[in-house]
Amino acid sequence: MCGIVGYIGNKKAVDIILKGLSYLEYRGYDSAGVALIKKDKVNIFKAPGKLNNLCSIISKENEENVNANAGIGHTRWATHGLPTETNAHPHTCNCKSLTIVHNGIIENYKDLKPNLEAKGCKFQSQTDTEVAAHLIAQEFETHKDLLKAVQSAVKKLKGAYAFCVMHKSMPDRIIAARKNAPLIIGVGDGENFIASDIPAIIEYTKKAIYLSDNQVAEVKTDSIKIYDENDELVANKVENLPFEPIALSKMGYKHFMLKEIHEQPDVVRNVLFGKLHDAEAEVVLDSVRLNKEQLKKINRIQIIACGTSLHAGLVGKYVIEELTKIPVDVEASSEYIYRNTIADENTLVIGISQSGETADTITAIKQVKEKNSHVLIITNRKDSAMARLADSLLPINAGIEVSVAATKSYMAQLLSVYLFAIFLAQNTENADENALQKIKKELLTLPSKLEIILNDTKNIKEIAKKYSSSKNFIFIARGINYPSALEGALKLKEISYINATGYPAGELKHGPIAMLDETMPVLAILNEGIVYDKVLSNCEEAKARQAKLIGVTNFVDEKHKALFDDIAIIPEISDIVSPALNIVILQLLAYHISEYLGKDVDQPRNLAKSVTVE
Ligand code: AGP
């Protein structure tokens, strides 16, 4: 979603800010802007669309106007008002002395606006943020100090915010504040940085302070002062940032998504490392803070997540129920909240999130924490808000994922869920040792099997080309691969904008079959196992309606070969572990279709990498 970069030091701020914003582009945005402050002058540049538009405006400016050592920048993902130049940040007050960039939503902006208008504030945009600009400017009139103005204003704001504010009469400081939206302060030598996420500043510093909710910071060239909600100064807690700049390179791949798909064998190795040595050994999850007694008391599991993470949770349901016999419910976080969900101290709640910052999941977790349930967070960002809320944390170690469409993080989530299911089963009375050993053995073979798929993608590229002009797509599967069908359809929708839907194969005949004709490709995932014959029958039903059939399978009987128009074969694998291989075929299919269609693979329209609004 929106991105923030602030800089104050002795270098040319605009260069650092624009570069930082470019590293946040992957989060999704639709306009951008920068405010630069120098002595008692503020210059603002804004442009709708991609960052390039802003860069070209700035490049045509007189050097005098852009040569400042302090500034704030923003990429906006529209929530209130169209993605126009006027609605782009930074926003200002009437006299343009104050500038602000903001992530999040000021929920009470409509309540605050009439009072501000009555005081003479003139609004230019349709944004909630402009209310904060005028409100802080009004407070500045009273306090004559930017820190005090912000401290006073935030007490009147409801909702979520991470923002940076500058004032013409105090050009030596940037004030930053946060509540329910991430913001970090990068600590430099004679310079300091502010950013909504690490990639924006990792090139310059590996040291940062994570602002906590309700804190306000005064950032100058050579000092950072943090104040709590009572306006008391608190000690700076400087932490080491977990990424290397190299993680942000495409390493020769055309897109981050393709690079991240190809990283999956190593991602699996990373997830397993230190947790699963061999099939005979127990799974070790040191970070799960539940002892044997507590584990035995768990009688219900709820998994909450969104999007791709939700699909990983759905696979988790099958695996956990199969191995532990504990009932598992999986629900979209946005549905879990705002109703009286049933959970108690014997319920384990698992939150799954790549970013650890998804607003719906954070709200759901906060809600369930009041019910005394133990909350386990499975995330790729152990520095995230969700990680900080966790009773137990299972970091998935996938490395930074830049492409908006999640691929390697899904793989790492799947593996983490398998490991957790085995860990839980080890601690229950009636664990089936043979079944556990079989799964552990197969998990250890995954990296080499993934390499087999990724080393020869010619067939899948051809299939992608053949179907790239389709307007619709149906993905079907049964059992543990039903979530794979959902995830495959989501990937295709996200990056190609083709109308793709995932169905349980058995549901086809209950309605969707009406859509089938020769223009409708049906992709069926069928693994040798309990549902193989059933999916095959559903394929026959589709074929009888002249649908084009693509099979993704580890086995195809000669006598059934003619049924499929195209087949993608995965290496031999048991049904229960097969989602980890099937999904790679579907990721590649979506990637290559998007590529053939010339879409923006890594930054699809309207999407954001981390969805920080509910
Ligand atoms: C995945 O391709 C999506 N971009 C999206 O569905 C994502 O999985 C969802 O927004 C949840 O994000 P999270 O895992 O960071 O919580």
SS3 at position 471: coil
Q: Is the CB of 355 under 6 A from ligand 1?
A: yes
First and final CA of the chain: distance in angstroms?
A: 12
Q: Is the CB of 358 under 6 A from ligand 1?
A: yes
- Give 246's pLDDT tier (boundaries 50, 70, 90): low
Q: Which amino acid is at 57?
A: I
Q: pLDDT for 50-107, tens place per residue?
A: 999 999 999 999 888 899 999 999 999 888 889 899 999 999 999 999 999 999 889 9
Question: 309: CA distance to ligand 1 center in Å?
Answer: 6
609: annotated active-site residue:
yes
Q: Which residues pair with 197 in a beta bridge?
A: none
Closest-lying ligand 1 atom to the alpha carbon of residue 355: 15
DSSP for 139-161 reads: HHHHHS-HHHHHHHHHTT--EEE
**pLDDT the model gives residue 412:** 98
Q: Is the CB of 489 under 6 A from ligand 1?
A: no
Question: 75: CA distance to ligand 1 center in Å?
Answer: 19
Q: Is the CB of 406 under 6 A from ligand 1?
A: yes
Question: 132: CA distance to ligand 1 center in Å?
Answer: 29
Question: 567: CA distance to ligand 1 center in Å?
Answer: 29
DSSP for 535-600 reads: HHHHHHHHHTTT-EEEEEES---GGGGGG-SEEEE-----TTTTHHHHHHHHHHHHHHHHHHTT--
Cα Rg for the chain, rounded, in angstroms?
26
Beta-sheet pairing, 3-8 with 192-195: antiparallel
- Stretch 536-549: mean pLDDT, rounded? 94
Q: Is the CB of 354 under 6 A from ligand 1?
A: yes
- Stretch 143-159: mean pLDDT, rounded? 96
Angle at CA of residue 35, ends 29 and 40, nearest 5°:
170
Residue 43's nearest CA partner among 54, 34, 52, 51 is: 34
* Dist. CA 464–CA 416, nearest whole Å: 30
Question: How many CA atoms, within 13 angstroms, populate the side-chain half-sphere of residue 46?
Answer: 22
Question: How many CA atoms, within 13 angstroms, populate the side-chain half-sphere of residue 213?
Answer: 13
Question: 378: CA distance to ligand 1 center in Å?
Answer: 13
Please say if the pLDDT value at position 613 is more than 80.
no
- Stretch 221-240: mean pLDDT, rounded? 96
Q: Is the CB of 407 under 6 A from ligand 1?
A: no
Question: 197: CA distance to ligand 1 center in Å?
Answer: 16
Q: Which amino acid is at 282?
A: E
Which residue lies with its CA nearest to atom 2 of ligand 1?
Answer: 405
- Stretch 235-262: mean pLDDT, rounded? 87
Which residue lies with its CA nearest to atom 16 of ligand 1?
Answer: 353
Which residue lies with its CA nearest to atom 9 of ligand 1?
Answer: 307
Q: pLDDT for 403-457, tens place per residue?
A: 999 999 999 999 999 999 999 999 887 788 999 999 999 999 999 999 999 999 9
Q: Where are the beta strands (DSSP E) in 279-320?
A: 300-305
Question: How many CA atoms, within 13 angstroms, populate the side-chain half-sphere of residue 572?
Answer: 1
Q: Is the CB of 403 under 6 A from ligand 1?
A: no
pTM of the model: 0.82
Closest-lying ligand 1 atom to the alpha carbon of residue 490: 2
Q: pLDDT for 335-384, tens place per residue?
A: 999 888 889 999 999 999 999 999 999 999 999 988 999 999 999 998 89
- Stretch 8-19: mean pLDDT, rounded? 97
Cα dihedral 21, 27, 31, 37, rounded to 10, equals -30
